[in-house]
Amino acid sequence: MTINELQDQVIEEFSAFDDWMDKYALLIDLGNSLPPLAERYKTESNLIEGCQSRVWFQADYADGKIIFQGESDAVIVKGIVSLLIRILSGHTPQEILDADLYFIDKVGLREHLSPTRSNGLVAMVKQMRLYAVAYQAKSASCRSSGNSANVLR
């Protein structure tokens, strides 16, 4: 599925609820369904700056696509991590960089999150885009040098 198709799917899921308490419950359920991040990835370099709670993202590059994993120690934030991974993981760096993440406003996340969580969401998206920039540059470098190694670790 494209990033926009995945966003539309998320918007549809959230539109089933009128009450924000129900939407928070959905976020918590999504976070609880997120596979735990391996301890070896819970490092300072994977910790997202700008988040009040602790949030880690791991990005790997395979077959031209970025695969994200992540976790948070806060249940609602973990749900947001789950949504971002669901929408952006498995796409090319260029698709991630070109993505307009309109689902954030459409489901009401921006207006219903506390200022600190909202800042954290911005920091998470920024970090995921930075991974995309790095992998795109690494991929271009490998192509130009004839080296097909996909490493950025």
Instruction: Given the residues 6, 30, 51, 66, select the one marked as catalytic.
Output: 51
The total of other beta-carbon atoms located within 10 Å of residue 117's CB is: 19
Taking residues 27-32, report their average pLDDT. Answer: 95
Is the pLDDT at 35 greater than 50? The verdict is yes
Each residue's pLDDT tens digit, 3-14:
999 999 999 999
- 11-27 exposure pattern, b = at least 16 Cβ within 10 A, e = fewer: eeebeeeeeeeebbebb
Each residue's pLDDT tens digit, 133-151:
999 888 776 765 554 444 4
Is residue 142 flagged as an active site residue? Answer: no
> Measured between alpha carbons, how far is residue 103 from residues 8, 135, 142 in Å?
7, 24, 34
Predicted local distance difference test score (pLDDT) of residue 146: 52
Taking residues 40-67, report their average pLDDT. Answer: 91
Predicted local distance difference test score (pLDDT) of residue 147: 47
| Residue partners of 140: CB distance under 8 A and separation at least 6 | none
Each residue's pLDDT tens digit, 79-121:
999 999 999 999 999 999 999 999 999 999 888 888 888 888 9
Predicted local distance difference test score (pLDDT) of residue 62: 93
